[in-house]
Amino acid sequence: MPAFSASSPGKIILFGEHAVVYGEPAIAIPVFSTQAKAIINARIQGRPGEIWIEAPDISLSAPIDQLELDHPLRTAIQVVIGENDLDQVPSCNILITSDMPPSSGLGSSAAISISLIRAFSAFLGKRLSEEQVSDYAYEVEKIHHGTPSGIDNTVISHQKPVYYRKGNPFEFLEIGEEFSVLIVYSGISGNTKEAVEGVRERWQKEPDLYNQIFSRIGEITQAARGIIETGSPDQLGALMTENHQLLQKIGVSSPDLDQLVLAAIEAGALGAKLSGGGLGGHIIALVKSDADYISEELLKKGAVSTLITPVKNRDLNK
Ligand code: PMV
């Protein structure tokens, strides 16, 4: 019997993280040079319902029913089984791999869930729409993040740049002119749930100030959308840096992230910001032909790795 496998890209949020939880728009793009993968093989000798899961990156090797009830991998499987109303599931082995650092803003949790949901559904002989994949993955994201906006599962399941506003239909972005983003890993993991909860506590104490900041981030995202679709992408730099300053104000940056943002700009980036939940994870910088030089400077300043991603339209033949 053939193996069933599915891979998913990572993602970065270009603009609007955190404010998106409060109803403002955000823009995210898939990052294809980093991937999470799920491979499923039938266990010919296994009893129905026996599912063994291996994720060497987190040293996991166990039957699925020995994982905690709310374990994200178990939940992803349960959501698919529940939606298909199945009594008996054929026995299988599942292998999960990912080259994304976890809790770093690249969306590794959503990429893993989506790969697993796709591969497991295919194993059961079901083909899911992108919408269903995204909805199922959202159920799993709730475990990781508490009150996720839904942007990660949306961009990773559809694999296209999206403009996303919670509660509204998301929109795909057409990229007017290709540009490049340098993705820089600080080596420190962030905790999105903690970051989102921290923002909520501070917002409750100072709602007017926080609402003002969220609404400015919304304006920046809106302006960025126009530039991405029709303008000169160089103009995104200043908006990125302003977005970072606002993220600093709501307390989700860190001295390490600030230092990398500053170093990127000093080395010639047109702008830079943290990306994702913050408190660690990645920063992103808008770069031109000087990307290699900026990358070297950032590695000297403590960055652990860098990755350049082009932001362009991609024909997926879908
Ligand atoms: O840390 P990430 O990459 O999963 O991004 C979190 C983005 C937030 O806006 C902070 C939360 C959310 O659910 O949108």
pLDDT tens per residue across span 69-86:
999 999 999 999 988 777
Residues tagged active-site = 152
This model's pTM is above 0.95: no
Chain Cα centroid distance, residue 123: 25
Where residue 315 falls among pLDDT bands split at 50, 70, 90? low
Closest ligand 1 atom number to CA of residue 196? 10
Asked if residue 318 has pLDDT above 80, the reply is no
Average pLDDT of span 20-34: 96
Q: What is the pLDDT of residue 170?
A: 92
Residue 83: the pLDDT is 81
pLDDT confidence band for 317 (50 / 70 / 90): very low
Strand pairing category for 171-172 and 60-63: unpaired
Residue closest via CA to ligand 1's atom 14 equals 149
282 vs 102, higher pLDDT: 282
- For residue 104, the CA-to-ligand 1 centroid distance in Å is 10
- Residue 294, pLDDT above cutoff 90: yes
pLDDT digits (tens, 9 = 90+) for 235-266: 999 999 999 999 999 999 999 999 999 999 99
Q: Ligand 1, from 139, 152, 274: best to mutate by most atoms within 8 Å of Cβ?
A: 152
CA 164 to centroid of ligand 1, rounded, Å: 12
Buried b (16+ CB within 10 A) or exposed e, 216-230: bbbebbebbbebbee
Pocket of ligand 1 (CB under 6 A): 13, 17-18, 20-21, 105, 107, 145, 148-149, 151-152, 192, 196, 276-277
pLDDT in tens, 224-234: 999 999 989 99
Ligand 1 centre from 211 Cα, in Å?
18
Percent of the chain with pLDDT strictly greater than 90: 84
Q: In the predicted model, is pLDDT for residue 316 greater than 80?
A: no
Give the mean model confidence (pLDDT) for residues 57-68.
93
Question: How far is Cα 177 from Cα 161, in angstroms, rounded to an integer?
Answer: 13
From the CA of 18, how far away is ligand 1's center (Å)?
6
CA 26 to each of CA 17, 23, 66, 169: distance values in angstroms, whole numbers, following the listed order: 6, 9, 38, 13
| pLDDT given at position 86 | 77
DSSP assignment string, 56-119: GGGTEEEEGGGS-TT-HHHHHHHHHHHHHT-S----EEEEEEE-SPTTSSS-HHHHHHHHHHHH
